[in-house]
Structure formats: C-alpha cells, structure tokens
Amino acid sequence: MESVSKKLSGCYRRVLIFLLAVVAVSLIAGGLAYWHFGGTEGFRYWMAERALNGVENHLKSKNRPDGISEKQVVAGFANIREKIQQRQVDLASLHAVLKSYQTTFHTTKPSTPEIQAFFGEIEKTILKDMTTKE
C-alpha cells in the first residue's frame, strides 16, 4: 500500500513540474510577442494591417470590378498600409470601413463607383499630420 502512494506522489510531482515548465514557456513566448508587436497598441495596428490585407486579397482575387485594374487596387491600399505602419490611422474608423465592405460585398461583386467610394472612405481614416506647419 505504501509503494502505491509513493508512486502516485512521484507521478504528481512530475506532472506538476511539466505543467510549470509549460506555463513558463508560454509566459516567455507571450512576453516576447507582446514586446515584438509594441504592446497592446502595436498589436491593434498589426491586426488592422492583417484585416486590410484580407480585404485587399478578397478584392483582388474574387471581387474586383472590371473597371478597376489590379494595379489600382494595390495602389489604393498602399497608402493606408503605410499610414498603418506609421500609426497615423484612426483604427475605429478603419475597422468600421473594413467591416462595412465585408458585410456588403462578401458574396456580391461591387461596381466600380462603389470601390472608388470605398477607397475614399479608407483615405478618410488617415489622421492629419499634426507636426507639419501650415
């Protein structure tokens, strides 16, 4: 009877050490990711860029109207992508614009004027540069 309790206590000890090692590795990986993305703020901008990439890929591959070339699509997203990297975008407005695109054009193909209006709405999410003097 005594040997069974010793075996169980040894098993619990090994499981506990394994769980602590997994938790420690997870915390270290999470800390490195948090540092790499620039904290909570950086993670939000990274997610915004990923969402923008998804909408761009959807527009290029499936929903591009005949009146807009692929180069125009890439150029339309290039400026906003640069501003996201510089953190000069209103993320709430950008989220609303991307969400409206996804809900409206998920299954239907947009027209050329609708895509031009979409690009105009994306450009409106760019924050004005406060450092330049007029």
User: DSSP of 44-83, one letter per residue?
Assistant: HHHHHHHHHHHHHHHHHHT---TTS-HHHHHHHHHHHHHH
DSSP 90-129: -HHHHHHHHHHHHHHHSSSPPPHHHHHHHHHHHHHTBPPP
pLDDT above 60 for 131: no
Binned at pLDDT 50, 70 and 90, residue 8 comes out as low
Q: List the domain boundaries for the chain.
A: 1-37, 39-129
Q: Would you state the pLDDT for residue 133?
A: 44
Length, in residues, of the chain = 134
Q: Helix axis angle, 70-85 relative to 112-124, nearest 10°?
A: 10
For residue 106, what pLDDT is reported? 80
Q: What is the pLDDT of residues 16-72, one digit of tens each?
A: 899 999 999 999 999 988 888 778 788 888 899 999 999 998 888 877 877 888 888
pTM of the model: 0.68
Res 1: pLDDT: 54
Phi, psi (deg, nearest 5) at residue 125: -80, -10
69: number of Cβ within 10 Å: 10
With a pLDDT cut of 70, the percent of the chain lying above it is 90
**Beta partners for 35?**
none
11 pLDDT above the threshold of 90: no
